[in-house]
């Protein structure tokens, strides 16, 4: 049952890459019980008569966030616990949820030996590693959760199987309109001629030397006349 659950969750990854992907719509969901409905719907569509999706365990207020898969040919069950990444939960809280909520609460039944903690994220955010204090991106968070899942599986001697799954709902590519607008701006920047400042002309300086010569020529006869009078 663990393998079936893992494969069906991988199919949702493939769905998010298709042209009819619900990525944008799911990214706007902020309430976990609404996201649970969407995941349950996709798991039902891909059941192929191998399991049924049971949501009867949810309360009337839909506060429970688990999805239960029941095998049609056996009594085996698998539980999917959902967490929205935008909620104010630290990496330590999410790691603790593997044991306290998924394992002890939702996998308490004897026939339920497989479980998965699904974390969705629709925005860019980071977490802090609960042990080292380093910053974690979404992939780093899922890696930390899977380490804890493997530790719990080994601790119980392999009688249960746990895993963590991340559903990245952030946009993969920019919209065509935004990309076209950006390319237009780049073209304008390339084709726009560079404006050069006109060279400043220095003011013409007056030539004083010719005037001095004329003055000297005019004064010269006066000096000669003065000598003659003496």
State both tokens at 55. Answer: 């949501």
Q: What does the pLDDT look like over 33-82, one tens digit per residue? A: 899 999 999 999 999 999 999 865 554 445 565 899 999 999 999 999 99
Q: Is 60 exceeded by the pLDDT of residue 101?
A: yes
Average of per-residue pLDDT across 83-88: 94
Domains identified in the chain and CATH numbers: 2-173 (3.40.1350)
More confident residue, 123 or 55: 123
φ and ψ at residue 52, rounded to 5 degrees: -120, 150
User: Which residue is listed with tokens 């967490």?
Assistant: 83
With bands split at pLDDT 50, 70 and 90, how would you rate the model's confidence at 230?
A: very low
pLDDT beyond 90 at 219: no
pLDDT in tens, 157-206: 989 999 999 999 998 765 545 555 566 666 666 665 555 666 666 666 55
Angle between helical axes of 32-45 and 2-16 (0-180°, round to 10): 100
Q: Among all chains, which residue has been given the structure tokens 């899942």? A: 149
Q: How many CB atoms lie within 10 A of CB 118?
A: 22
């Amino acid at each position: 049952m663990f393998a079936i659950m893992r494969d069906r969750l991988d199919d949702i990854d493939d769905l998010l890459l298709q042209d009819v992907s619900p990525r944008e719509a799911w990214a706007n969901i902020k309430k976990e019980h609404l996201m649970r409905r969407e995941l349950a719907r996709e798991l039902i569509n891909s059941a192929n008569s191998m399991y049924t999706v049971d949501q009867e365990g949810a309360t009337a207020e839909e506060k429970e966030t688990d999805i239960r898969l029941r095998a049609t040919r056996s009594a085996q069950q698998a539980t999917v616990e959902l967490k929205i990444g935008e909620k104010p939960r630290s990496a330590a809280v999410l790691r603790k949820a593997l044991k306290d909520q998924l394992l002890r609460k939702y996998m308490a039944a004897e026939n339920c030996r497989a479980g998965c903690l699904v974390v969705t994220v629709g925005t860019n955010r980071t977490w802090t590693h609960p042990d080292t204090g380093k910053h974690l991106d979404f992939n780093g968070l899922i890696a930390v959760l899977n380490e804890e899942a493997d530790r719990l599986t080994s601790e119980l001697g392999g009688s249960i199987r746990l895993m963590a799954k991340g559903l990245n709902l952030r946009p993969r590519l920019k919209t065509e309109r935004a990309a076209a607008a950006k390319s237009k701006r780049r073209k304008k920047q390339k084709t726009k001629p560079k404006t050069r400042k006109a060279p400043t002309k220095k003011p013409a300086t007056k030539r004083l030397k010719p005037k001095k010569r004329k003055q000297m020529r005019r004064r010269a006869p006066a000096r000669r006349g003065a000598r003659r009078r003496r």
